Structure 1
Amino acid sequence: MLENIKTEQFYTEYKPLLFSLAYRMLGSVTDAEDIVQEAFLTLYKSGSDHIQNMKAYLCKIVTNGCLGLLRSTRKQREKYIGTWLPEPLVTTASEETDPMQSYLQKESISTAYLLLLQQLSYVERAVFLLHEVLQYDYKEIADIVGKSSANCRQIFHRAKRSLHVKDDSDLLDHFDQEQTTNLVEQFMQALASADAARIVEFLSTDAVLITDGGGKVKAQLQPLNGHIPISHLTSNFLKKLPGNLTYRLTMVNGLPGIVVYLDGKTLTVLSFKILNGHIVNLYFVINPDKLTHVF
């Protein structure tokens, strides 16, 4: 009974941090939740009296769990049909006061950021996140990933060079909450009317549309470039859909986004990268396997 109470206390304290790490590593909400649950199950079975640093202990379990899952699913990712996008993390205004969401908001979890991390090897991603997001020193990271502290330092700097990051602020999405929300809301209205002329007004001329159908539904297999082609494709796609389309403005990966429903069922989740008042990247997750947790 006492050990169960201790585990619940640790769960409340560390779950937001551990989910944050696992989600950035995996780009999957469901897998991140499973990895975190498994970490606490391991803790419950082993007991906590022998653990000197609980945060490091749990981070090590989660990191190793993520690395193991990534390696085991490598072939699936290599055979993925079309462009892979992370599972959208959808939150509402009422959830923003939740400890999980407030912790996630401290660092960028945007779709663009998560895609940037995909450029790194699994170990590079782990070292980079542990140092950049969780502020671990290299000695602590070395214990977690099983490498020397000097090696971890080299891995981190190599990862940073790979991402072409000069400064920590380069990783964050700087945006005006009210202006961005208004822009996305107006874009949503343009989508709802399937008006290509209105849609194009919100896009930068070199905008890029990326869709993820995973081979489960019809989607663009390659990124689509240019504001005119994107406006025509999106408006025509929505016009051809049978049934009743509805839209909800919400927070997707820490930034204003849109959930689209067809006859009350989640059809797609839209997230964006916005610069200088225009949408430069549009991300449409249509793969139904990645939308099971979105309501």
Structure 2
Amino acid sequence: MENMKTEQLYSLYKPVLFSLAYRMLGSVMDAEDIVQEAFLTIYKSGSDHIQNMKAYMCKIVTNRCLELLRSSSKQREHYVGAWLPEPLVTTASDETDPMQSYLQKESVSTAYLLLLQQLSYVERAVFLLREAMQYDYEEIAGIVGKSSANCRQIFHRAKRSLRVKYDPDHSDRLDQEQTTSLVEQFMYALASGNAAQIMKFLSTDAVLLTDGGGKALLQPLHGHIRISRSVTDFWKKFTEHLTYRIAMVNSLPGIVVYMDKKTWAVISFKVQDGRIDNLYFVANPDKLTHVH
């Protein structure tokens, strides 16, 4: 394959392939690796025999994701504390990037990814291939090794499950300025160390989930009082060492926190009815190597 053709394919298909792999795995680094492997496979084997390049590459990526998920299932089972997806952090300078433009149109919020993780591996693949990639059931059957009728059943079961628990059309498309303003006000209240002020931005039954990979708080915190007191105490203790910036985290406003100028945590939110409903706190350093 000529280099120019490879570059054109990469530019054209990387966004959709990365989106598929990231939502399958919840890992930025693994998704990047699998997409690179897919293009390397095409480069080595050539493309003359491929009639539908997008479908062919999605099949490669899906199968590689399924292999990785199955091989790492034991590791996930023994993960210490809450598991959260690796945060996908972008800035205003990334807006011209075709991949970021594509992802802005997709449901990649932390809350949505966590629900996808509750599906079985095959359910997740079938759902994404049908919902996001618009494949017909015959094509999906060829990818996941099930009958088309079975794939149809799997898809409808997965869609019902997700719809009951989460409505991405509502939760992921709230007014951007309003959500950004809420996140900024929350951070200002946090920086001031005022627990009572922080509580105003949290729903009464808010939940704080921390993914520290065994290196940070393990148990979820429930309720606006406990959360506000806990984060205020922590912030006061380390305030001289902490700085932060507002960023787009999984296509929604979030926060990158630095400890002594090094990336220390990424916080994303689920906002509902003008209040912060869930806080997702990723502090596992292994999941932050790509965040600057």
In the superposition, the TM-score normalised over structure 1's length comes to 0.95
In structure 2, the CA distance between the partners of 1:4 and 1:19, relative to structure 1 (3 Å rule), is same
2:196 match: 197
**Matched AA of 1:160:** K
Distance 2:97 2:145 in 1: 34
Deviations 1:11-66 (A, max 9, x none): 11000000000000000000000000000000100000110000000000000010
Distance 1:168 1:148 in 2: 29
**Residue 77 in structure 1 maps to residue 76 in structure 2:** yes
Distance 1:160 1:275 in 2: 21
CA RMSD of aligned residues (A): 1.6
With 16-25 and 91-100 compared, the bigger mean Cα shift is at 91-100
1:247 to 240, 244, 247: 244
User: SS at 1:163's partner residue?
Assistant: helix
Structure 1, unpaired ranges of 5+: none
User: SS at 1:261's partner residue?
Assistant: strand
Matches within 5 A, 1:39-118: 39-118=38-117
Displacement of 1:145 in angstroms is 1.4
> 1:82–1:222: 8 Å Cα contact kept in structure 2?
yes
Matches within 5 A, 1:126-141: 126-141=125-140
In structure 2, the CA distance between the partners of 1:148 and 1:50, relative to structure 1 (3 Å rule), is same
User: SS at 1:109's partner residue?
Assistant: coil
2:286 to 286, 289, 293: 289
2:259 match: 262
In the superposition, the TM-score normalised over structure 2's length comes to 0.96
With 163-172 and 246-255 compared, the bigger mean Cα shift is at 163-172
**Residue 272 in structure 1 maps to residue 269 in structure 2:** yes
Matches within 5 A, 1:152-231: 152-165=151-164, 173-215=172-214, 217-219=215-217, 221-231=218-228
**Matched AA of 2:205:** D
Distance 2:64 2:171 in 1: 26
Displacement of 1:97 in angstroms is 2.3
> 1:208–1:224: 8 Å Cα contact kept in structure 2?
yes
**Matched AA of 1:115:** L
> 1:180–1:256: 8 Å Cα contact kept in structure 2?
yes
The share of aligned pairs that are identical, in percent, is 77
> 1:107–1:172: 8 Å Cα contact kept in structure 2?
no
User: SS at 1:208's partner residue?
Assistant: strand
Q: Number of paired residues?
A: 292
Matches within 5 A, 1:17-28: 17-28=16-27
Displacement of 1:168 in angstroms is 7.4
2:230 match: 233
Displacement of 1:108 in angstroms is 1.1
